[in-house]
């Protein structure tokens, strides 16, 4: 259960789909794949190709060689350096610091003048909400810790667009804080773990905006069953079933609530899922 940094040294990859949905093609060198995400790529292979994958924590690697000659020597690339988390990953904006992560995201996410009504949700500032991101930012073009100093093109959500999806004005918005307590290893949403929570209520036919604020210093791949998550990338839309929420960041998405019944919404990291989990009831 970790994130993997995927590359094919000496090759560029053309990304053509994210989570199984076609995107406008984009060329990259590296892809960080969050748990449960998937990317389709087209690669023109050269002779004796190496597929090389490192885990995000830089504790291991796995590789495979593609080629006709089994005796061909494998030359492994230098592993990427270990980078510590920064203030940005704690959700703090630092004055004077180069916020490359802000580029192109200056509230383009909110092009509408009329404010979107926010439905208040229960919160509990307690044992399951000990960390707070004081100034969470949209960081769609942030390659993430461990890849920021890499001088190669790393895929980010800011590079991706799903064509043909109408950017509708949302009927309402809900804000979900991803929260936790690292000492006790408790994970929750809005400070309330699943086992103490009530279901989230969506209404059939509505167009919902969901904003995640990650108050923790870990990535959370958030996965909703039954409906697509249409991530706001500036004024563009990226359709996904699993949305990575970077440490100390925020991200907004749209949902066409087009499936009745009961669904689940959860972090896809097994160790977080027990608490960072909600039942969703779609009411008709
Ligand atoms: Cu998580």
165 alpha carbon to ligand 1 midpoint, in Å? 28
CATH number reported for the structural domain that contains residue 125 in this entry: 2.60.40.420
Residue 141 in 3-state DSSP?
A: coil
Mean pLDDT computed over every residue of the chain: 92
81 alpha carbon to ligand 1 midpoint, in Å? 24
63 alpha carbon to ligand 1 midpoint, in Å? 26
Q: Please report the pLDDT score of residue 82 as a whole number.
A: 87
57 with 109, same domain: the answer is no
Residue 22 in any domain: the answer is yes
Residue 74 in any domain: the answer is no
93 alpha carbon to ligand 1 midpoint, in Å? 22
14 alpha carbon to ligand 1 midpoint, in Å? 29
26 with 136, same domain: the answer is no
Residue 14 in 3-state DSSP?
A: strand
47 with 92, same domain: the answer is no
Domain hosting residue 60, numbered range: 4-66
172 alpha carbon to ligand 1 midpoint, in Å? 25
- pLDDT of residue 253 exceeding 60, the answer is yes
Q: Please report the pLDDT score of residue 103 as a whole number.
A: 43
13 with 154, same domain: the answer is no
Give the residue-averaged pLDDT of 170-199: 96
Residue 184 in any domain: the answer is yes
129 alpha carbon to ligand 1 midpoint, in Å? 14
Ligand 1 ion: residues within 5 Å (CB): 220, 267, 269, 272
Give the residue-averaged pLDDT of 219-233: 98
Q: Please report the pLDDT score of residue 113 as a whole number.
A: 66
Percent of the chain with pLDDT over 90: 82
26 alpha carbon to ligand 1 midpoint, in Å? 28
Percent of the chain with pLDDT over 70: 93
Q: How confident is the model at residue 200 (pLDDT cuts 50, 70, 90)?
A: very high
Q: Residues 6 or more apart from 71 whose CB is under 8 A from it?
A: none
181 with 252, same domain: the answer is yes
39 with 117, same domain: the answer is no
166 with 240, same domain: the answer is yes
260 with 152, same domain: the answer is yes
* CA distances (Å), origin 36, targets 82, 109, 270: 23, 25, 11
Q: How confident is the model at residue 266 (pLDDT cuts 50, 70, 90)?
A: very high
> Which among 66, 98, 120 is the end of a domain?
66
- pLDDT of residue 251 exceeding 80, the answer is yes
Instruction: Give the tokens for residue 189.
Output: 């949403």
158-182 pLDDT, tens digit each: 999 999 998 899 999 999 999 999 8
100-139 pLDDT, tens digit each: 444 444 445 555 568 999 999 999 999 999 999 999 999 9
Q: Please report the pLDDT score of residue 72 as a whole number.
A: 85
36-78 pLDDT, tens digit each: 999 999 999 888 899 999 999 999 999 999 888 888 888 899 9
Instruction: Give the tokens for residue 28.
Output: 């990259």
Q: Please report the pLDDT score of residue 106 as a whole number.
A: 46
170 with 141, same domain: the answer is yes
E strands, the chain, in order: 4-7, 13-18, 21-28, 30-33, 39-42, 49-55, 61-66, 137-138, 172-181, 186-189, 200-203, 207-214, 220-224, 229-233, 236-240, 242-245, 249-256, 261-267, 277-283
245 alpha carbon to ligand 1 midpoint, in Å? 9
Give the residue-averaged pLDDT of 173-198: 96
How many domains does the structure of the chain reveal? 2
131 with 248, same domain: the answer is yes
């Amino acid at each position: 259960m970790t994130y993997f940094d995927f590359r094919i040294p000496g090759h560029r990859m053309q990304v053509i789909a994210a989570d199984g949905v076609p995107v406008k093609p984009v060329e990259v060198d590296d892809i960080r794949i969050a748990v449960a995400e998937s990317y389709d790529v087209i690669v023109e292979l050269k002779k004796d190709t190496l597929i090389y994958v490192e885990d995000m924590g830089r504790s291991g690697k796995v590789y495979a060689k593609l080629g006709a000659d089994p005796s061909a020597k494998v030359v492994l690339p230098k592993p990427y350096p270990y980078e510590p988390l920064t203030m940005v990953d704690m959700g703090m904006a630092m004055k004077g610091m180069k916020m490359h992560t802000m580029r192109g995201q200056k509230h383009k996410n909110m092009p509408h003048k009329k404010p979107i009504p926010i439905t208040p949700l229960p919160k509990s500032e307690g044992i399951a909400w000990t960390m707070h991101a004081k100034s969470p930012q949209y960081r769609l073009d942030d390659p993430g810790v461990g890849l920021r100093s890499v001088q190669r093109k790393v895929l980010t959500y800011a590079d991706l667009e799903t064509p043909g999806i109408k950017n509708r004005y949302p009927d309402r918005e809900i804000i979900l804080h991803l929260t936790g307590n690292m000492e006790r290893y408790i994970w929750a949403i809005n400070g309330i773990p699943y086992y103490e929570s009530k279901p989230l209520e969506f209404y059939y036919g509505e167009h919902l905006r969901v904003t995640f604020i990650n108050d923790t210093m870990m990535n959370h791949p958030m996965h909703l069953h039954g409906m697509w998550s249409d991530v706001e990338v500036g004024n563009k839309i990226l359709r996904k079933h699993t949305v990575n929420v970077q440490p100390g960041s925020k991200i907004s998405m749209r949902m066409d609530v087009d499936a009745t019944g009961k669904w689940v919404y959860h972090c896809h990291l097994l160790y977080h899922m027990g608490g960072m989990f909600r039942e969703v009831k779609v009411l008709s």
